Amino acid sequence: MKKRGILNKELNTVISEMGHKDTITISDAGLPIPKNVKRIDLALKRGYPEFLKILKAVLEDLVVEKAFIASEIKEISPEMHKNLISLLGEIEVEYISHNQFKKQSEDSRAVVRSGETTPYANVILVSGVDF
């Protein structure tokens, strides 16, 4: 049995297979997931698991050089935005429209669906390298 880190087999596999510049999307419960993108559905019930807890676990396992966030989060969900930016720390953040976000998520290796119901609680992570 794995001792630490992400235990979910599908999520663990996607992270371990990611190369430089690959992307993974972590979403709220309502983001439309493209049919051609792997869906890792962790949602158990409304609000659980939380988006930020999933993001924190992924950031502990994945080297991330950049993140894309829908610009609408700043006005619609300012508290979530503040917490998201805090969790991302020094990672470069680029704001795009929610429509652009949905289009860009089509290129992700996977979309990880949380049970989060806060509007615009979504992020696309761009994989970096550890050297």
pLDDT of residue 4: 87
Residue 38's CATH number = 3.40.1650.10
**Regions of the chain short of the pLDDT cut 50:** none
Q: What are the angstrom distances between the C-alpha of 107 and each of 35, 63, 87, 103, 125?
A: 11, 18, 24, 8, 11
Does 5 map to a domain? no
- Domain membership of residue 98 as a residue range: 20-127
| Catalytically active residues, by annotation | 20
Structure-block tokens of residue 77: 């969900």
Give the pLDDT confidence score for residue 65 in this predicted structure. 98
Q: Which of 41, 22, 20, 38 is nearest to 30 (CA)?
A: 41
For the segment 4-37, what is each residue's pLDDT rounded down to a tens digit? 899 999 999 999 999 999 999 999 999 999 999 9
The number of helices, as runs of H, and strands, as runs of E, in the chain is 5, 6
Q: Give the number of domains in the chain.
A: 1
Find tokens 């990672």 and name the residue: 91
